Structure 1
Amino acid sequence: MHRKRIVSALSALSAAVVVSGALTAGAYATPSKHAAEGAAPTAAPSGLNGPYLYLGWGSPPKATSVMSATGIRQFTMAFMLSDGGCNPKWDGTRALTGGTDQSTINSIRSAGGDVTVSFGGWSGNKLGEKCSSAGALAGAYQKVVDAYKLKSIDIDIEATEVSNATVRQRVIDALKTTKTKNPGLKVYVTFGTTTTGPTADGKDLVKRGAAKGLDAEWAVMPFDFGGQGSVDMAAATKSAVDGLKNTVASEYKLSSDAAYRKVGFSSMNGHTDQAGEIVSVADFKSMVSYATSHHLSRVSFWSLNRDRKCGSGGGGDACSGIEQGTYDFTKVLAGYNG
């Protein structure tokens, strides 16, 4: 079950399946044995390769243990939602600061890593909808940026938040304000896709972003392709990102090479929510190789919680449902340097 269908303590499972994605200080230290064995790594752009870590259900792994086991230094913490109004809370219920989420972030940073905070996901109350104006939404984003002194944020815009044109414009306007106030902040906008490129809503987001002059990185979620049966997920991912690149190049008037450097993807490890869709470790290696050849601005997957085997059958909240070693996907992702 991926981020689009999360069942948190207070939210119910959504059964909707859409075209796709029906689902982010200073140089890093060298905390792990992997880093210690070689030269000290240079700091990667914030949000470049952080797998999603969700503390709302199941048995989330200890982040610092994952760092030691894999060499990963970045995490995308999910999800920042509305408390019912225009106030950000983890999962819409846990306080912005002072709880498990903050202690996890503190431990990651103490070990030499850093985080991207992801807003949205499939279920729950979205700030983009609950905040009544772009100014109020920008204020909510800023509250989180300030609370954690963030270098990057991920707007995982899905479901009714992405399907409403008014809300799409509100999000773009709010991100423009946030980016203006925090010029060094990396802003990632993540949304669903078809096998050949963004949905109409995704294309519209990019178009509105370009019209607003928003400096953002754009990422698609290439899975849950709407009942197409067995899909070559590596090939579909590459085709989807190529389509996103074409959209970004067209709307921002960029060369193909420059557009590739402004786009990325977030996959799903193992069984997706769609029957017949399986992302193997080999598939993910192929995807990351493709990302390296085009210098994509972001590669991630949902989720670190699932990066372990659970025997035969489909995956779930806490496992991938395929034969794999613990943290195999994270180990692959840790090697991505843009």
Structure 2
Amino acid sequence: MGRRTTGALATAALLAGGLSLPAAAAETTAAETQQASMAVAPYLYNGWGSPPDPVPVMEQTGVQWFTLAFVLSEGTCTPRWDGTRALNGGPDQATIEAVRAAGGDVVPSFGGWSGNKLEETCGTAGELAGAYQEVIDAYDLKAIDIDLEASAYENPEVQQRVIDALNTVKADNPGITVYVTIGTGQDGPDGGMIERAATSGLTVDAWTIMPFNFGGNGQNMGELSVRAAEGLKNTVRDAYGYSDAEAYSHIGISSMNGNTDVGEVVTQEDFRTMLAYAQEHQLARLTFWSLNRDRPCDGGAVDSCGGIDQSPWEFTSILAQYTG
């Protein structure tokens, strides 16, 4: 999602590469389409919430990618889905195979709010990189998401371990897309990890904030999310010495549909506000927690619906309009 070469420079570059202009244009368009599809990858969690079948969702909404949660630790530096399910042979592998057979793909997410985190149980950056690599190799991945929350994010030593491990992963897997997802305040996240990463030479495809559970009760969550994203953009810009346009192309939003854990309400109109903002600035990522909750139900159970009036997969359908 970085800057594009335009005009005469683009033409010269394409011809020098031996591509005809129509073929090169088609190749560029295909790459950009995949990047936009990857950016909109709602979280799907097989651990709770009556996990939906992703294939009908793909057919009904046009979404092609899913962020599959969560890869955790079984108590050692060994990756397991939810800390218990093996990488191969279980429902998670079945989900990946079904999505790929339907023409899509997945972004496994490491971490999350609860459970044993590999980022904490792996004793060194090398061991953590090895755990990440095991999952990358198991599924021949194009992208990963590191969702660093709670005690894992609050520990500077763990932050640095993740940064060093991701530097190794990027070196060993050229072209892999790396997302890092963190919490935020209403004015953006604290800059500690982002500044630490920049100092350590780590660039990621999207520093992604979760603009919810941050005291937005009774306020416009769409506008608050944009405000927090602007704070993120400024932090990324200053840490890396980017222009504003470059900074926007390295940030993302991961919202939450419907009722949040602290009584905020994120509506369909809030998602449209975020979509317009992402489209205007060409953000690198625009997703949400979670597909499991993107449907109506009685009683407002937080694991299987968002607790507001909506159609099935309505929030997914809104973000699926993102074109990058």
TM-score band, normalised by shorter chain: 0.7 to 0.9
Q: 2:310 aligns with which of 317, 324, 332?
A: 324
Q: 2:137 aligns with which of 123, 135, 146?
A: 146
**2:210 aligned with 1:221:** yes
Distance in 2 of aligned mates of 1:274 and 1:111: 36
Instruction: Tell me which residue corresponds to 2:271.
Output: 284
Kept in 2: contact 1:46–1:152 (CA 8 A): no
Distance in 2 of aligned mates of 1:44 and 1:193: 25
Instruction: Tell me which residue corresponds to 2:25.
Output: none
Q: How does 1:268-279 map to 2 (within 5 A)?
A: 268-275=256-263, 277-279=264-266
Kept in 1: contact 2:186–2:224 (CA 8 A): yes
Distance in 2 of aligned mates of 1:42 and 1:205: 30
Name the CA shift for 1:263/1:331 in 2 (closer, same or farther; >3 Å): same
Instruction: Tell me which residue corresponds to 2:9.
Output: none
Distance in 1 of aligned mates of 2:235 and 2:289: 24
TM-score normalised by length of structure 2: 0.88
Query: Which amino acid letter does the alignment assign opposite residue 111 of structure 2?
Result: G
Kept in 2: contact 1:315–1:322 (CA 8 A): no
* Structure 1 unpaired stretches of 5+: 1-38
Question: CA deviation digits over 1:173-196, x for unaligned, max 9?
Answer: 101110111120111000000111
Kept in 2: contact 1:308–1:320 (CA 8 A): yes
Question: CA deviation digits over 1:197-218, x for unaligned, max 9?
Answer: 10x3xx1110111111112020
Distance in 1 of aligned mates of 2:257 and 2:180: 20
Instruction: Tell me which residue corresponds to 1:301.
Output: 288
Distance in 2 of aligned mates of 1:325 and 1:125: 35
Following superposition, the deviation at residue 336 of structure 1 comes to: 1.0
Distance in 2 of aligned mates of 1:211 and 1:97: 37
Instruction: Tell me which residue corresponds to 2:85.
Output: 94
Instruction: Tell me which residue corresponds to 2:21.
Output: none
Following superposition, the deviation at residue 152 of structure 1 comes to: 0.6
Q: 2:240 aligns with which of 240, 243, 252?
A: 252
* Structure 2 unpaired stretches of 5+: 1-29
Name the CA shift for 1:77/1:159 in 2 (closer, same or farther; >3 Å): same
Structure with the greater alpha carbon radius of gyration: 2
Instruction: Tell me which residue corresponds to 1:128.
Output: 119
Higher helix share: 2
Instruction: Tell me which residue corresponds to 1:55.
Output: 46
Following superposition, the deviation at residue 286 of structure 1 comes to: 1.1
Distance in 2 of aligned mates of 1:335 and 1:88: 34
Name the CA shift for 1:314/1:62 in 2 (closer, same or farther; >3 Å): closer
Following superposition, the deviation at residue 315 of structure 1 comes to: 4.7
Q: 2:146 aligns with which of 119, 139, 155?
A: 155
Query: Which amino acid letter does the alignment assign opposite residue 110 of structure 2?
Result: F
Name the CA shift for 1:42/1:249 in 2 (closer, same or farther; >3 Å): closer
Kept in 2: contact 1:270–1:315 (CA 8 A): no
Instruction: Tell me which residue corresponds to 1:266.
Output: 254
Q: How does 1:184-195 map to 2 (within 5 A)?
A: 184-195=175-186
Kept in 1: contact 2:70–2:109 (CA 8 A): yes
Distance in 2 of aligned mates of 1:43 and 1:299: 14
Question: CA deviation digits over 1:242-287, x for unaligned, max 9?
Answer: 0000000000000001100000010000000012x10111110111
Name the CA shift for 1:287/1:46 in 2 (closer, same or farther; >3 Å): closer
Kept in 2: contact 1:179–1:215 (CA 8 A): no
**2:76 aligned with 1:85:** yes
Distance in 1 of aligned mates of 2:84 and 2:279: 38
Instruction: Tell me which residue corresponds to 1:14.
Output: none
Question: CA deviation digits over 1:27-83, x for unaligned, max 9?
Answer: xxxxxxxxxxxx9x9423573110000000121110111111111101000000001
Instruction: Tell me which residue corresponds to 1:243.
Output: 231
**2:55 aligned with 1:64:** yes
Q: Secondary structure at the match of 2:178?
A: strand
TM-score normalised by length of structure 1: 0.84
Query: Which amino acid letter does the alignment assign opposite residue 289 of structure 1?
Result: A
